[in-house]
Amino acid sequence: MLRKISQRFNVGVENYLPNAFIFAILLTFLTLILGMTVTNQSLTDMTTHWYNGFWNFLAFTTQMILILITGYALVKAPPVQKLLVHVASIPKTQKSALITTILVAAAAGYISWGLGFVLGTLFAIEVAKNVKTADFRILIAAAYTGTIAILPASITVTAPLLVNTPGHSLEAEIGLIPLSQTIFSPTLLLTAFIGLAVVLVAYIKMMPKPDEVIPFEQDVDVFVIEKYEKAKTVAEKLDRSKVINYLLVGMGVLWLGQYIILNGFNLELNILNFFFIILGLALHGTPVSYVNAITAGMPSASGILLQFPFYAGIMGMMIGSGLIIVISQSFVSISNEHTFPLLSLLSAAVVNVFVPSAGGQWQIQGPIMLEASRAYNIPIATVINTVTIGDLVTNLMQPFFVLPALGLSGLSLKDIWGYCLVSMVLLLVVSGIIVTVIPLIL
């Protein structure tokens, strides 16, 4: 049944879904219209909000590009390549290829959502090269879905880390919320691991039949370990100098050690990117090897560079017009102490379609949900957890974070969207049940 549903979704998106950039433009127009009709903003007001927000993602855009290309370079390091090539050679059937791809992507996503998107996609390509009976499109979709499914329990999920960081915007109201109440709570752990199991079964059920399979046919070697001839000139010796390379790595390790001593294991995007750079340099061994890997990863970042400013503009309109407040308050107004967790999740899921930035979304939506939670005497951690889950689940419909996978694989959004939509519905059902039941039994 799931295979038929996913096929119908795929047929629909093939006929009607444009590429990811057009999706962003259409979403811009929809937000414009909603702002003018729902919050009574004028056209000039909305275009002003749009432009004011247009460049607000510049820092985040750079961080995302760095996560993508430094993650790419990390995956391209010889030791990592050897390990991934070995693991990718294990599957022999489409079913085992899907299971392996989802689990590897989820393992990488648990460490870092950025690493999950990159490593999962490259691993899926390598598996598709080896298993010609596996459909390339479903493998890429499975890698992305596996990463999304595990993210509620990931050690890099945004909102829980944000509210555990000294100086966050709501510290005066709620203080610091320990990770034991968020990332390591029963709610997020069960959502992540039960959700992962559900999508694993779903992808097995959605596998194309042998006569429907579209294999990976590109003549591309995903994992290639570069070999260099003996350096002859001074320039070549400097390029390949392990001494220079590891002196730099040593500086990075020294600073990271100081950071952990002073701040503990508090991860955020800049620290994560810095760690990826230092680890990548260490694993590549020479500066030139790392430079070549970074250069090779740059083309896959083009979608992010183009589209993120448009999503920043959408966010500017959502905030400037008050649409985020309207959406959040509409869900709060129909909730009670029993339905609030579920409706909090659903409101975050809706807002995420327009504002696919967990940090930005929490800054605006968080205070509204926290105020409502006090009225219902609901723990603050419950609000953080439900908003986190809702924000993550609709990333399977919103193409914002799938751009790295599309850039690396060469596929278009319509190639994988059907599988992602089925997964999103299943994860919404699973997470909705969990956030409703857990508060009742704890």
For residue 182, give Cα distances in angstroms to 118, 189, 381. Answer: 25, 9, 6
The model carries a pTM of 0.83
**Host H or E run for residue 179:** none
Q: Which tokens in the block code for residue 103? A: 């689990």
**182-194 pLDDT, tens digit each:** 999 999 999 999 9
Largest CA distance in the chain: 74
Q: Taking 70 as the threshold, does the pLDDT of residue 370 lie above it?
A: yes
User: Which alpha helices (DSSP H) does 285-376 contain, by range?
Assistant: 287-297, 302-321, 323-333, 340-354, 358-375
Query: What's the rounded mean pLDDT across residues 77-100?
Result: 93
Per-residue pLDDT, averaged over 384-400, amounts to 90
Span 250-267, average pLDDT: 86
> 374 near 366, Cβ under 8 Å?
no
> Tens digit of pLDDT for each residue in 289-348?
999 889 888 877 777 788 888 888 988 898 899 898 888 888 888 888 889 999 999 999
Q: Are 143 and 183 in contact (CB under 8 A)?
A: no
Tell me which amino acid residue 396 is: L
Mean pLDDT over 82-110 rounds to: 95
72/68 Cα distance (integer angstroms): 6
pLDDT score for 356:
73
- Tell me phi and psi for residue 154, to 5 degrees: -65, 145
Euclidean distance between CA atoms 342 and 91, whole angstroms: 39
User: d(Cα 52, Cα 355) in Å, to the nearest integer?
Assistant: 15
Q: Is the pLDDT of residue 109 over 60?
A: yes
What distance in Å separates the CA atoms of residue 34 and residue 276, rounded to the nearest whole number?
40
Give the closest residue to 364 by CA, choosing from 175, 166, 170.
Answer: 170
The values of phi and psi at residue 404, to 5°, are -60, -40
Number of Cβ within 10 Å of residue 256's Cβ equals 15
The overall average pLDDT reported for the chain is 86
Q: Are 153 and 188 in contact (CB under 8 A)?
A: yes
Residue 227 has pLDDT above 80, yes or no: no
